[in-house]
């Protein structure tokens, strides 16, 4: 008689799951049978995906869905141009290759803004692969999901690694693990460090003003802060004007702020090359592609700063997360004094992002 016991054993061998309870089992998650589903972060041409910070949130959200469900993770980010011109896979190949999933049932869904916020509430308890049951799920998301997905008890085993990490550490862990600058940006970064930073301490500010008439790309952005707030940044910069010790680095969406800094700190201020542009609101042209590469390079530079001032922006926030330390970190917010802050401060707390 084929005993019930052997059936159970067969089941266990086939599905693997039960091995986890065997103390001597050395089957690592990499060797476990993975399911053959795909979760793909997709930002397609002509679709509004949000700016670079929004897209990073989407990438991390979809990464966690794949990670929780043992699915494959891919990125297809082609607006305004293929983003692998700026960033490349590091620990595994996440490039989306349509031949890999040819003829497989698939779905493409957009969860922008409040739709993402509804989904993330659901995903504190939902079964992700039941919710997205097709073999291949393409998602455009622009909200912060890690804080929600980590609460989902169905995936406590796969997501055990999140348990002791803060939201900042989750972002930084994933980003450092999967992303590396493309050869072109690595070269530009190296040049920047050698010829511009040249061994000095780097004091940086990321000043996002938002909607502004000086650059048509940003006309449709929301107003984020009055440019006058930058006066407080110049006051802080003035503490670091010894040219033997420091360099000042600025990244901003506002040409006026930029020219003020150039006028006030000649010889001290360094910048990366490339045009200013909004990666989502600008036209899908070569110039916007160059602006996209510059944003990614600038964010990478920000993540290496000795002193970092950041404003209301996913780009600055994520740079601060990857930078890691909370020392010499300052928050610049509308209507508030520029002050030292940390990842518990309002600028770093989830509300509608
Ligand atoms: C989930 O992500 C963590 C951190 O990057 C990684 O160590 C782990 O191997 C991943 N698990 C799966 C099943 O992809
Ligand atoms: C999710 O639902 C699928 C389909 O019903 C099921 O096979 C899977 O085991 C469920 N996953 C979890 C973690 O409960
Ligand atoms: C973090 O910053 C807040 C002010 O934003 C301050 O009240 C708090 O003490 C700081 N926490 C740590 C651990 O430094």
pLDDT in tens, 237-257: 999 999 999 999 999 988 899
Ligand 2 close to Cβ of residue 232 (< 6 A): no
Taking the centre of ligand 2 as the mean of its atom positions, its distance from the CA of residue 41, in whole angstroms, is 22
Q: Tell me the best of 20, 29, 128, 160 to mutate to test the pocket of ligand 1, counting ligand atoms within 8 Å of each CB and taking the most.
A: 29
The closest residue, in CA terms, to atom 12 on ligand 3 is 342
Categorize the per-residue pLDDT at 350 as very low, low, confident or very high, splitting at 50, 70 and 90.
low
Is the overall model pTM greater than 0.75, yes or no? yes
Question: Residue 265 pLDDT more than 50?
Answer: yes
CA distance 171 to 165: 9
Query: What per-residue confidence (pLDDT) applies to 35?
Result: 79
Ligand 3 atom at shortest distance from the alpha carbon of 343:
1
- Percentage of the chain beyond pLDDT 90 is 77
User: What's the pLDDT band for 213 if we cut at 50, 70, 90?
Assistant: low
Nearest CA to ligand 1 atom 1: 67
* Mean pLDDT within 111-137: 97
CB under 6 Å to ligand 1: residues?
A: 29, 67, 70, 158, 161, 173-174, 177
Pick the CATH number of 183-348 from 3.40.50.11350, 3.20.20.80, 3.40.50.11810, 3.30.360.10: 3.40.50.11350
- pLDDT higher than 70, residue 16: no
- When pLDDT is averaged across residues 182-202 and rounded to a whole number, the result is 98
pLDDT band at 228 (very low <50, low <70, confident <90, very high): confident
CATH 3.40.50.11350 domain residues, the chain: 183-348
d(CA 16, CA 9): 10
**What pLDDT does residue 277 have?**
84
Mean pLDDT of all residues in 228-237: 94
pLDDT of residue 197: 98
What pLDDT does 127 receive?
Answer: 98
The 10s digit of each residue's pLDDT in 311-340 is 999 999 999 999 999 999 999 998 999 999
% of the chain surpassing 70 pLDDT: 89
Arithmetic mean of pLDDT, 189-200: 98
Looking at residue 70, the DSSP 8-state letter turns out to be T
| Nearest partner of 352 among 40, 54, 42, judged by Cα | 54
Q: How far apart are CA 136 and CA 101, in angstroms?
A: 7
Residue 62 main-chain phi, psi, to 5 deg: -70, -35
CA of 339, nearest ligand number: 3
Give the CATH architecture of domain 11-181: 3-Layer(aba) Sandwich (3.40)
Which ligand ends up closest to the CA of 154?
Answer: 2
Q: What separation in Å is there between the alpha carbon of 124 and the centre of ligand 3?
A: 28
Q: What is the pLDDT of residue 15?
A: 36
E strands, 208-293, are 246-252, 269-270
């Amino acid at each position: 008689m084929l005993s019930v016991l052997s059936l159970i054993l067969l089941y266990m061998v086939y599905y693997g799951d039960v091995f986890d309870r065997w103390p001597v089992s050395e089957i690592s998650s990499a060797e476990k049978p993975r399911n053959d589903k795909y979760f793909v972060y997709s930002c397609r041409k002509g679709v509004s995906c949000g700016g670079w910070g929004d897209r990073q949130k989407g990438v991390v959200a979809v990464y966690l869905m794949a990670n929780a469900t043992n699915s494959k993770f891919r990125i297809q980010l082609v607006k305004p141009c293929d983003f692998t011109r700026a960033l490349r896979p590091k620990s595994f190949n996440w490039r989306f290759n349509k031949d890999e999933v040819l003829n497989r049932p698939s779905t493409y869904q957009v969860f922008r803004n409040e739709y993402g916020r509804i989904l993330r509430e659901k995903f504190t308890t939902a079964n992700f692969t039941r919710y997205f049951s097709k073999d291949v799920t393409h998602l455009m998301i622009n909200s912060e999901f890690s804080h929600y997905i980590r609460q989902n008890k169905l995936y406590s085993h796969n997501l055990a690694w999140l348990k002791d990490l803060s939201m900042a550490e989750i972002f930084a862990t994933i980003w450092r693990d999967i992303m590396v600058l493309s050869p072109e940006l690595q070269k530009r970064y190296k040049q920047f460090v050698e010829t511009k930073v040249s061994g000095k301490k780097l004091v940086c500010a990321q000043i996002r003003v938002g909607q502004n008439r000086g650059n048509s790309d940003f006309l449709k952005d929301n107003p984020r802060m009055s440019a006058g707030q930058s006066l407080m940044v110049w006051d802080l910069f003035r503490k670091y004007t010894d040219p033997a010790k420091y360099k000042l680095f600025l990244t901003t969406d506002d040409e006026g702020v930029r020219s003020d800094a150039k006028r006030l700190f000649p010889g001290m201020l360094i910048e990366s090359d490339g045009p200013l542009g909004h990666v989502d609101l600008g036209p899908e042209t070569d110039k916007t592609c160059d602006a996209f590469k510059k944003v990614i390079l600038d964010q990478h530079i920000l993540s290496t700063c000795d002193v970092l001032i950041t404003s209301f922006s996913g780009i600055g926030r994520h740079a601060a997360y990857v930078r890691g330390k909370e020392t010499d970190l300052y928050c610049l917010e509308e209507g508030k004094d520029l002050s030292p802050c940390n990842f518990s401060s309002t600028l770093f707390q989830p509300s509608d992002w």
